[in-house]
């Protein structure tokens, strides 16, 4: 069976991470050992896509070398082994996020997971109207007059699916605004989340602001309203301990490529009682029990939502990534990255002409910082840093409404992970300090 997550008590017993340990960790990541434009690579774009340790690369390679076969479809030796490691990987990820096995659904990425939920909810209305499925579907169906609530800081992946769900069902989309500092207006949230709210969807940690949102308070408001809660955990699952049951959410999504795993694999968590009655999003083979020429009957979750050939090697690699993070200690990783984030923010705030988005230095945030350089476009900032071997993200980070609210069209974002040192941050800050002079801004 797959390894389970290290108990928190064991994680706390481990020493605090330091630069010496991080340099040892860095040796596990082959891509980081290279020159970019003649400079040692400083990779500060893990908020977009993280790098892969050897154990993850080897896990995927070993699957193809030793066990490559379709899962759930054959009785031969390779098919049985492939199915075993595929389902062991599911158990590993369930343990990693504090979920049950059958509550863990494979997707291609978090975006697919969010679309899965939104389409399943709109299909719930269609099924209920036709008398199909469980009687509880009627309670999940959205109708004109119902409301879906998001926040102004959402990634497009956690905004557009809800816009489309509102369009398909006649529901109204509302949002909790942010203040000038980028924090949610929780003083308004209680009025926005009300007796018409059917879905509350929000990010655990902002991919632009670095803000860690008050999950317990938001879940409490949703429960009072009788609304479903959908959590975007893309920027939290890779960086801090995640207990979906402890958080009390109904659904959560995250992507493997942001947590040391390959692209093409993501996870949807859903409470079993909801997953087992929701209509499927994609249909076809591997998710059915009986098929006639007129209709089909569907398996319970998780297979109910996993039509067609699955992402087998990617799931195996994601489990290896989860084990790597667990063995390192997510509490320790979070503490180290939080320190790097504070170092970035305080350093950026000290540079003239720099505007940092999100919490100020000294306030809680994850290990990333998005900023605007007065008089210099973000794309130019990114190219300047790249010329010095420093990889960052530029643009609106799939959060145009958030940037528009803050009076910006694009920013530069540096995001750290467990393989970044304080020296990486200092090199980044030294380079940023030279941007305005270089462009004569």
Q: How many CB atoms lie within 10 A of CB 199?
A: 26
> Which of 412, 414, 437 lies closest to 343 in space, CA to CA?
414
CA-closest candidate to residue 299, choices 307, 309, 289: 289
Among residues 14, 48, 307, 398, the one annotated as catalytic is 398
Q: How far is CA 215 from CA 96, 202, 236, 246, 403, in A?
A: 19, 9, 12, 11, 23
- The rounded distance, in Å, linking the Cα atoms of 170 and 167 is 6
Give burial (CB, 10 Å; 0-12/13-18/19+) of 214: middle
Residue 22 to residues 16, 379, 417, 427, Cα–Cα distance (Å)? 11, 30, 10, 16
As a whole number of angstroms, the distance between CA 46 and CA 333 comes to 14
3-state secondary structure of 69: coil
SS3 76: coil
The candidate with the shortest Cα–Cα distance to 148, out of 121, 180, 179, 178, is 121
Q: Name residue 147's beta-bridge partners.
A: 172, 197
C-alpha span between 57 and 354 (Å, rounded): 38
* Structural contact between residues 118 and 164, judged by C-beta atoms closer than 8 angstroms: yes
Nearest C-alpha neighbor of 411 from the set 421, 423, 429, 399: 399
The answer to whether 178 and 212 are in contact (CB under 8 A) is no
Give the separation between CA 389 and CA 41, rounded to whole angstroms. 5
The two three-digit tokens of residue 223, written as one number = 């429960």
Residue 398 a catalytic site member? yes
Bridge-partner residues for 288, per DSSP? 298
**Which residues make Cβ contacts (< 8 Å) with residue 228, sequence separation at least 6?**
140, 198, 199, 200, 222, 250, 251, 274
**Residues pairing with 414 in the sheet:** 369
Residues 6+ apart with CB under 8 A from 348: 354, 356, 369, 371, 429, 432
Active-site residue list: 398
């Amino acid at each position: 069976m797959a390894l389970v997550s290290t108990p928190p008590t064991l994680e706390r017993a481990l020493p605090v991470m330091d630069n010496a340990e991080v340099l040892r960790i860095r040796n596990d990541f082959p891509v980081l050992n290279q020159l970019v434009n003649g400079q040692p690579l400083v990779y500060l774009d893990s908020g977009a896509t993280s790098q892969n340790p050897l154990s993850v690369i080897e896990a995927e390679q070993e699957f193809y070398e030793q066990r490559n076969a379709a899962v759930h479809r054959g009785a031969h030796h390779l098919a049985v082994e492939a199915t075993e490691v595929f389902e062991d990987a599911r158990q590993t990820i369930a343990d990693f996020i504090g979920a049950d096995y059958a509550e863990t659904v494979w997707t291609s990425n978090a975006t697919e997971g969010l679309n899965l939920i939104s389409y399943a909810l709109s299909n719930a209305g269609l099924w209920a109207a036709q008398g199909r499925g469980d009687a509880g579907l009627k309670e999940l169906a959205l109708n004109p007059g119902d409301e879906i609530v998001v926040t102004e800081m959402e990634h497009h992946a956690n905004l557009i699916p809800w816009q489309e769900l509102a369009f398909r069902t006649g529901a109204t989309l509302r949002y909790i605004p942010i203040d000038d500092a980028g924090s949610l207006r929780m003083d308004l949230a209680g009025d926005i989340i009300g007796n018409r709210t059917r879905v509350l969807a929000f990010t655990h940690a902002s991919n632009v602001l670095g803000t860690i949102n008050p999950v317990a308070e938001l879940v409490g408001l949703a429960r009072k309203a009788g609304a479903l809660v959908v959590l975007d955990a893309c920027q939290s699952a890779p960086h801090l301990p995640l207990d979906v049951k402890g958080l009390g959410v109904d659904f959560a999504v995250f992507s493997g490529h942001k947590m040391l795993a390959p692209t093409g694999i993501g996870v949807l968590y859903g409470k079993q009682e909801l997953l087992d009655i929701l209509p499927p999003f994609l249909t076809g083979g591997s998710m059915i029990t009986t098929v006639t020429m007129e209709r089909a009957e569907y398996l319970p979750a998780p297979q109910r939502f996993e039509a067609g050939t699955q992402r087998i090697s990617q799931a195996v690699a994601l489990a290896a990534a989860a084990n790597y993070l667990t063995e390192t200690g997510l509490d320790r990783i979070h503490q180290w990255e939080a320190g790097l984030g504070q170092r970035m923010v305080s350093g950026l705030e000290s540079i003239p002409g720099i505007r940092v988005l999100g919490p100020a230095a000294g306030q809680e945030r994850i290990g990333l910082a998005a900023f605007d350089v007065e008089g210099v476009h973000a794309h130019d900032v990114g190219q300047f840093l790249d010329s010095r071997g420093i990889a960052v993200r530029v643009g609106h980070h799939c959060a145009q409404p958030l940037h528009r609210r803050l009076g910006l069209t694009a920013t530069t974002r540096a995001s750290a992970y467990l393989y970044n040192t304080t020296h990486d941050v200092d090199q980044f800050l030294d380079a940023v300090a030279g941007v305005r002079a270089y462009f004569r801004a």
